[in-house]
Amino acid sequence: VLTLNTKITEVGEKILASNGKEVNFASALKSCEEAGGTLATPMNEAENNAILGIVKQYNRYAYLGIKENETLGQFSYMNGIPVNYTKWHQYEPNGKGREKCVEMYTDGSWNDKNCNLYRLTVCEF
């Protein structure tokens, strides 16, 4: 259990965990869902900071459970509900349909990004 202490974080009603693996968005989402959760999705500053703690620990950008929907520049959670909390990096999002996924930088800000790049897997339960 002690080896998991730094890999699992509790924030509000959520538990966040990472396996430390970097994969593309579809694989990250699949591994979270197979474990009974989904990709980490910050709904407020406290959750964003908790995910950031894991991102900083691995010093790797991580995918978030947010994707651009059919309306260019509009982003939604995996369940289709529009995003109501954001922490976009300056001048982001700027992909305009070419960058459908969202990653978290090591400073906690967000960037829209291509979904086939390898990013850290952080799940929420």
Per-residue pLDDT tens for 47-80? 999 999 999 999 999 999 999 998 888 999 999 9
C-alpha distances in Å from residue 48, one per residue of 32, 65, 86, 105, 120: 18, 12, 9, 11, 15
CATH classification at residue 23: 3.10.100.10
Query: What is the model's pLDDT at position 24?
Result: 98
Range of the domain at 18: 6-122
Residue 1 counted as domain residue? no
Residue 54 lies in a domain: yes
pLDDT tens track for 100-125: 999 999 999 999 999 999 999 999 99
Distances in Å between the Cα of 42 and the Cα atoms of 1, 2, 4, 26 are: 26, 26, 21, 19
16 within a domain of the structure (yes/no): yes
pTM: 0.92
What local confidence, expressed as pLDDT, does residue 117 receive? 97
Over residues 1-51, the pLDDT tens digits come to 445 555 788 899 999 999 999 999 999 999 999 999 999 999 999 999 999
> What pLDDT, on the 0 to 100 scale, is given for residue 1?
40
E-strand stretches of 1-125: 8-11, 14-23, 38-39, 62-68, 75-77, 101-104, 110-113, 119-124
87 falls within a domain: yes
Query: How many domains is the chain partitioned into structurally?
Result: 1
56 part of a folded domain: yes
CA 83 – CA 2 distance, rounded (Å) = 35
Q: Distance (Å, rounded) from C-alpha 34 to C-alpha 50? A: 22
Residue 5: its pLDDT value, please? 53
